Amino acid sequence: MSKSVGRQERLVLRTAKLFLAVILGVLVVVNSVVWAEEGTEAFFPKTKKVYFPRGTSQLIKPYLSKPTGNTADYRLVIEGPQFLKYVTFEKQMGTPPREVKSVPGETRDGIPYVKHQFVYDVYPSTGFELSICWLDASRATISYQPGIRSGGTFDWRHLSERISPPKGAAYAKPLIIKWQNRGITGTFWVDNVTLHEEGSTQNLLKAGTFEEPEWKSYLIKPEGKGGGKCAKFICTEEKAKDQQALWMDPKLDATPVDPNKKYVVELDLKTENVTVPGEPIAAVLFAVGADVPEGKSTLFTYAITAGKTNSQQTTELVILPPLKNVRPKEARIAPCMYGEMFSEPEVNRAYAENAWRSGVTWTYGSIMNGVVNLLAPRGHRVWLSKPGEPFHAHGEAAADFLKAHPDLNAVNFTGKPKAGFFCPTWLVSPEGEQARRMMDDPLVEMVNRDGYIAVNWDIEQTVITGADGEKADRGFCICPRCLAAFRKEQGISEADKLDKEAILAKYKDAWVMFRCKQNAELAGHARNALKRCSRPVAFSVYSGYQGQKTREWYGVDWKLLAPHLDMAIAGYGGSRQAIRDTLDALGGVPFIGGELYYLGPVPQPGATGWAKNSMNYSPKPEPWRNRLLRQFVDGGCNGVLIWYLPVMDGAVFYHTSEAAEIIATYEDIFRKGKRCDSSFTVNGIKPEHWAAIEHEGKRLLMLLNFNGKPVETTVEQTGLEGEWKAVLHGKPGDLAIDAKKFTLPLDPWGTGVLVFRKAENK
């Protein structure tokens, strides 16, 4: 079975590619991993504070500390002020409790507290998972949804879970799985798997008892409940890095479903020492009213096991002002949001409302999630993340065509066929039109059906040496067609040997540009295909910032791509110079850069290297407003891409709303004006932490403090004639300053936006 069968792995892979930019400066779908490294903080991701803007609901994620000894009757307790109201538990991100009790607690500092108890029969371990693969009418994968998860040690137990198909689902394929690279060990037995409509007892699965003669898998053993057959998974330490999985149909058939109905999945499970490193988390939605006073208080968390209470942890609860609820008219503040992430309607509503009131009017990814469905009636728009990567035979028709014509397979740098990929030289040629059409037609159909007005292609395809130490063997294609085309383009003599070694030793840069041209040409074909849609559709590409590493690692040169684009997107963590280099290469094509807050909405226990390190720190929300504003202005004032909506917390929503309000207030100056940094001299902050724009006789100066301490800036302007007035965003009236030379203090993490005008202008 493929290593990447579901949304979890796709998210890891996508996140890996997008996140590399943060580390190297060149640059979903539900993630149900629920384990964290053990630590001292009470809440994921290693945070000592949780934030609630007034009048909002926020998802907070306490760690479930491991008990010692008896693990029965486990209870997580969160004590919070009475104004903090429990709403629901998000089971997609944490093992749901059997019961939630909210009872009066102590009065602390004059504030009545409430004890919220999350009751489990046993400590909520995991490792076993029954996941549901949802397919649309064309049998294309929509998303994977965890149905039942468990772990630990117990004898045969009957488990059940209610599930809801996502929008557009036509088929379901249940999958028993032990995920790879998560350190899962132990043994579990599965028997009597059923999928039925809620209120019915008819099993929709054809082979759920494992007694069916069609079963041939080595995982089927005569050790089932009652002595019959079952599926047995032995997860040794040596196999912890491997995936073990079994589709719940020996013929790999899918089960028809109705997206408007509810379903129940049930099974019998037995486990023996099924464990995962680290601690699980819970995901709990709380709400605070609009009348709650702003300020700080304390949350107390602890666990009770078999009547024994572990040590209490404290976390600062910060009540922020309400979200600004202001949205730019044209500029796009666009978090990524792919497939269905949340199972609970209240959680979807909370994220939708937080996004809307934070100034978000676009998302990147898909409409196939509850958050976007709630935002759509308000005019929310979505970039579709185009399925497939360059030259991959995406879709059933293209895959079948390639299987029938193996001579068209790409050849990687090992000299072996690159499974599932067309030869680039052939695919971009006139001969490849039929195959391109096989891949483009489903895209056009999807865009027409779902109402997209923008499509983006994430191109991050290794040409020579991939990021994070990937070997050159990932490069392709060195088939005779490609080598002949490259030889002709470069004027290489037939007498000169041309193979992988020659390319790497003598023609590396030329080969990289050769492949970048092919990627650009294929992007042009994709854009032309979208012209067949029933409405105008803007086409864009996402990749790294302009530079040699982006060409080598991702196969993208923005100058080559520019003629085929309506917009370009790059992220994350690019310097001002990297952004300028990208803008220069694009030559006027609108650009949007990205900002990343945190890698994932839940822990990734199997992560290694940079990914592990990236999730082993406490994110700082304080500079978020300034990060968005800096990226927005440096990128040309078209918008900001955010990775990503499910990791946004109360503080990030609030600071996003502050940035959105500033952008909306001065949108005409930002979007129609021109940079005039040369007219200013600013001291006290770094050059990349300020920017100036002029438009129709006005000048806007933006000053950003990326420091946790106050700073004093000194500003001088040149070229001012006559008397000029200045206003400071958020302050009434004109400032009492000499616009030609003045000082302005900035609070810790503060933002100063000043607009200058001639005294006779209003």
Question: What does the pLDDT look like over 48-78, one tens digit per residue?
Answer: 999 999 999 999 999 988 776 666 788 999 9
Rounded to whole angstroms, how far apart are CA atoms 288 and 322? 11
Q: Which residues contact 89 (CB under 8 A, 6 or more apart)?
A: 96, 97, 100, 118, 282, 283, 284, 285, 344
What is the pTM for the complete model shown? 0.84
Is residue 247 within 8 A of residue 254, CB to CB? The reply is no
Rounded to whole angstroms, how far apart are CA atoms 94 and 644? 19
Express each pLDDT in 493-519 by its tens digit.
999 999 989 998 999 999 999 999 999
Question: 349 by DSSP, 3-state: which?
Answer: helix
What pLDDT is stored for residue 31 in this prediction? 30
Angle between helices 624-634 and 650-665 (to 10 degrees): 40
What pLDDT is stored for residue 151 in this prediction? 83
Rounded to whole angstroms, how far apart are CA atoms 238 and 2? 19
Element (H, E) at 345: helix 345-357
Rounded to whole angstroms, how far apart are CA atoms 483 and 415? 12
Provide the strand spans (E) within 494-601: 538-543, 567-570, 591-596
As a 3-state breakdown, the chain gives helix, strand, coil percent values, each rounded to 5, of 25, 35, 40
What pLDDT is stored for residue 572 in this prediction? 87
Is residue 562 within 8 A of residue 553, CB to CB? The reply is no
Express each pLDDT in 534-562 by its tens digit.
999 999 999 999 999 999 999 999 999 99
- What tokens appear for 517 in the block? 């041209």
What pLDDT is stored for residue 609 in this prediction? 66
Rounded to whole angstroms, how far apart are CA atoms 30 and 369? 10
Q: What's the average pLDDT block by block, 10 residues per block, for the chain (762 residues)?
A: 28 35 31 41 92 98 80 88 97 87 93 95 84 91 88 87 91 94 91 96 94 94 95 93 93 93 96 83 96 97 86 95 98 95 95 98 96 97 95 93 96 91 98 97 96 97 66 79 97 94 93 98 98 97 96 96 98 92 98 94 71 76 98 98 96 98 98 97 97 97 98 94 94 94 97 93 56
Is residue 394 within 8 A of residue 401, CB to CB? The reply is no
- What tokens appear for 611 in the block? 């990914």
Rounded to whole angstroms, how far apart are CA atoms 586 and 193? 54
What pLDDT is stored for residue 177 in this prediction? 95
Rama region for 404: left / alpha / beta (φ>0; ψ in -120 to 50; rest): alpha
Q: How far apart are the first and last CA of the chain?
A: 68
What pLDDT is stored for residue 65 in this prediction? 83
